[in-house]
Amino acid sequence: MAFYFSEASHTFGEYLLVPGYSSADCVPANVSLATPLVKFKKGEKPKITMNIPMTSAIMQAVSDDKMAIALAKEGGVSFIYGSQSIAEEAAMVARVKTYKSGFVNSDSNIKPTTTLAEILALKDSTGHSTMAVTEDGTPTGKLLGIVTSRDYRVTRMTEDTKAEVFMTPFSKLVHADAHTTLPEANDLIWKHKLNMLPLIDKNQRLRYMVFRKDYTDNKENELEIIDDKKRYIVGAGINTRDYAERVPALLRAGADVLCIDSSEGFSEWQRTTLQYIHETFGEDVKVGAGNVVDRAGFRFLAEAGADFIKVGIGGGSICITRETKGIGRGQATALIDVIKARDEYYEETGVYIPVCSDGGIVHDFHMTLALAMGADFMMLGRYFSRFDESPTDKVRINGTYLKEYWGEGSNRARNWQRYDLGGDKKLSFEEGVDSYVPYAGSLKDNINITLSKLRSTMCNCGALTLPNFRRDAKLTLVSSTSIVEGGSHDVILKDKFSSRD
Ligand code: IMP
């Protein structure tokens, strides 16, 4: 007879935290959200610690190099999506590792012969009004001038006027050598009242741009996570098919941590992949695995050598796995079960394997609950897809700004390796949808709000660190009637009325 779990499967929205005693020093400013990303032995330090418990999902619509840089600045880690060619994925990793904070690679480049009409179209598509005029129109070509919106007047010029007529020519530009440091560049910007300082090499080729508006940003990332060469930490997704070629390419590009991206991780494929990587490249190469939803799955991956383990099947916002295949488990129940297995394993072996709660976070407080239940960090797709930094298009529909967001198991992504159970190299049916999410602005602004709620709740529960939070948290399952009580109720919200009579 089949095995039946005794408890019903619950999700985050069915739980609440009960506050604990808060002492006077228990204030948000004193809270640390530091958390291990990879496994470590009792008494030792993990090779990678994040300063916030957030990773961005291994998805085409979420994690490219731009997202990775933005998230590392805030203290979390992105896993660059693996459903692209090995060369493309490695190039994204390399761009994160070579990124110099404050030094921008020009993304709007034109030739002297580019027309005003073309310049306006480029400005619309990139949103950037400062354009480098290079000899060959490439980001690193010989710099001949700069065009900004102050150089042209659309009403007084014809659309076919060429950039060379109105650009600020190189002879009139304040510029500096490519080796200039950020503080030196900022001094020049202030001294000459510039908006942007181009840095060039000895052949007058453009290397970077340093913008005045980034100045405060460059000073404000106190939680950023960097390696010993001061480069941003970045992760990369891999699969259980082409790891022999993909892994060395990603490591050469500088990936700090890898993660097997799979909808279901309790499989021989994952064990073979983990063992191959650790035997070939050494234990120092860190690889996460998953996803699992019970103790047996955790134990299996722990023994196979996983450096962190992801929990979650069927709870993702774009996921239709439960509908199509009838597999999965409520995210909260799955997480609680796996956390018990992690703690038992730690007791037995002295090895702590971080657990990641992957998918299904709808409200900010769901993250707080996941951490209270014992997750070391979360992986989020929908959450990050809404921000400026996600790779997808921002569109306006019926007056509302939206961003595109699609699952790796949708026909759009066609990430068949994620659902690999051997057999053909194709998706035989979809496990994800193609969708829109409401556009929400910048990553930094949103993360700040989310984390201030988290810190505040931790203080209500008397915890200043994540380990203390999960040790002391008191959680209660709520009835469906009390869930209704949780929102505003029995009042008429004012924003339903446009004006008073
Ligand atoms: P979200 O944060 O709720 O949007 O969930 C993101 C997570 O959903 C990812 O980290 C993956 O684990 C999972 N996922 C990504 N694409 C698909 C898909 O097409 N089907 C099912 N799950 C997916």
Higher-confidence position of 131 and 103 = 131
- Residue with CA at minimum distance from ligand 1 atom 8: 316
Spacing, Cα 359 to ligand 1 middle (Å): 6
Model pLDDT, residue 217: 59
Q: What is the pLDDT of residues 421-431, one digit of tens each?
A: 766 666 678 88
197-207 per-position pLDDT tens digit = 999 999 999 99
79 compared with 500, residue with greater pLDDT: 79
pLDDT band at 257 (very low <50, low <70, confident <90, very high): very high
- CA nearest neighbour of 355 among 338, 332, 333, 334: 338
323 to 266, 327, 407: CA distances (angstroms): 20, 8, 14
Residue 218 confidence (pLDDT) above 70:
no
Secondary structure, 3-state, 41-101: ECCCCCCCEECCCEEECCCCCCCCHHHHHHHHHHCCEEEECCCCCHHHHHHHHHHHHHCEC
- Per-residue pLDDT at 498: 67
What pLDDT is recorded for position 471? 97
pLDDT band at 92 (very low <50, low <70, confident <90, very high): very high
Which residues carry a binding-site annotation for K(+)?
314, 316, 319
Q: Which residues are annotated as a binding site for NAD(+)?
A: 261-263, 312-314
Report the pLDDT value the prediction gives residue 126, as an integer from 0 to 100. Answer: 75
Q: How far is Cα 194 from Cα 314, in angstroms, rounded to an integer?
A: 52
Say yes or no: CB of residue 89 within 6 Å of ligand 1. no
Higher model confidence: residue 18 or residue 488?
A: 18
482 vs 200 pLDDT, higher one:
200
The secondary element (H helix, E strand) that includes residue 40 is strand 40-41
Cα-to-centroid distance, 470 and ligand 1 (Å): 25
Q: Which of 111-120, 180-189, 332-341 has the highest mean pLDDT?
A: 332-341
* DSSP, residue by residue, 392-439: SPEEEETTEEEEEEE-TTSTTT--GGGG--SS-SS-SS--B-EEEEE-
- Ligand 1 atom nearest to 432, measured from its CA: 19
Check pocket membership of 57 for ligand 1, CB cut-off 6 A: yes
Residues in the chain: 501
**Extended strands (E) in 239-384:** 257-260, 287-292, 308-311, 351-352, 355-358, 377-380
Residue nearest to atom 7 of ligand 1 (CA): 359
Closest CA to 128 of 220, 211, 215: 211
Question: In sequence order, which residues have a C-beta less than 8 Å from that of residue 25 and are 6 or more positions away?
Answer: 464
Q: Which of 80, 69, 75, 78 is nearest to 35 (CA)?
A: 75
**Residue boundaries of the structural domains of the chain:** 12-101+225-484, 103-220
SS (H, E, C) 166-189: HCEEHHHCCCEECCCCHHHHHHHH
Candidate of 319, 392, 419 to mutate for ligand 1, largest count of ligand atoms within 8 Å of Cβ: 319
Q: The tokens of 15 are what?
A: 């739980």
Ligand 1 and 59: CB distance under 6 A: yes
Beta pairing, strands 394-397 & 400-406:
antiparallel
Share of the chain above pLDDT 90, in %: 77
Q: Render pLDDT for 429-457 as a digit per residue (tens, 0 to 9).
A: 888 899 999 999 999 999 999 999 999 99
Which residue is associated with the tokens 């619950």? 10
Give the type of residue at 464.
L
CA atoms within 13 Å, Cβ hemisphere of 29: 2
The answer on pLDDT for 489 being more than 90 is no
63 lines ligand 1 (CB under 6 A): no
Mean pLDDT score of the chain, rounded to an integer? 93
Decide: 41 and 32 in contact? Cβ < 8 Å: no
- In this predicted structure, what is the pLDDT of residue 472? 96
Judged against a pLDDT cut of 80, whether residue 495 lies above it is answered with no
For 122-126, 143-147, 474-478, which range has the lowest pLDDT when averaged over its residues? 122-126
Highest mean pLDDT among 62-66, 122-126, 409-413: 62-66
Q: Is the pLDDT of residue 497 over 80?
A: no
284 pLDDT more than 80: yes
Cα 132 to Cα 100, 107, 168, 190, 361, distances in angstroms: 19, 9, 10, 21, 41
Which CATH code for domain 103-220? 3.10.580.10
Out of 168-172, 399-403, 457-461, 492-496, pick the least confident. 492-496
Q: Which of 409, 402, 398, 463 shows the shortest CA–CA distance to 438? A: 402
Report the C-alpha gap between 312 and 329 in whole angstroms: 7
| pTM metric for this prediction | 0.85
The predicted pLDDT at position 441 comes to 96
Are the C-beta atoms of 81 and 58 separated by less than 8 Å? yes
Give me the mean pLDDT over the 289-318 stretch. 97
Spatial separation of the C-alpha atoms in residues 346 and 131, rounded to whole Å: 55
Mutational pocket test of ligand 1: of 63, 322, 408, the residue with most ligand atoms within 8 Å of the beta carbon: 408
Q: Is the CB of 317 under 6 A from ligand 1?
A: yes
Give the contacts of 181 (CB within 8 A, at least 6 positions apart).
none
Q: What does the alpha-carbon distance between residue 414 and residue 262 come to, in Å, rounded to a whole number?
A: 13
440 in Cβ contact with 387 (< 8 Å): yes
Confirm or reject: Cβ of 319 under 6 Å from ligand 1.
yes
CA of 317 to the centre of ligand 1 (A): 7
C-alpha 155: how far from chain center: 42
- Assess whether pLDDT exceeds 70 at residue 375: yes
**Residue of 80, 81, 309, 318 to test ligand 1 pocket, by largest number of atoms within 8 Å of CB:** 318
Q: Which CATH number is correct for 12-101+225-484, 3.20.20.70, 1.20.1270.10, 2.60.120.260, 2.40.30.10?
A: 3.20.20.70
pLDDT band at 301 (very low <50, low <70, confident <90, very high): very high
Rounded distance between C-alpha atoms, residue 311 and residue 320, angstroms: 17
Binding site members: 261-263, 312-314, 316, 319
Residue 409: CB within 6 Å of ligand 1? yes
pLDDT at 50 over 90: yes
Q: Is 410 in the pocket of ligand 1 (CB under 6 A)?
A: yes
User: How much is the average pLDDT of 309-336?
Assistant: 93
pLDDT: which is higher, 300 or 215: 300
Residues in Cβ contact with 76 at an 8 Å cutoff, skipping those fewer than 6 apart: 50, 51, 52, 53, 54, 55, 56, 225, 377, 447
If you measure from the C-alpha of residue 109 to the centroid of ligand 1, how many angstroms do you get, rounded to a whole number? 36
Residues carrying an active site annotation: 319, 418
Beta bridge partners of 7: none
Query: Is residue 61 lining ligand 1, measured as CB closer than 6 Å?
Result: no
Sign of CA dihedral 141, 143, 144, 145: positive
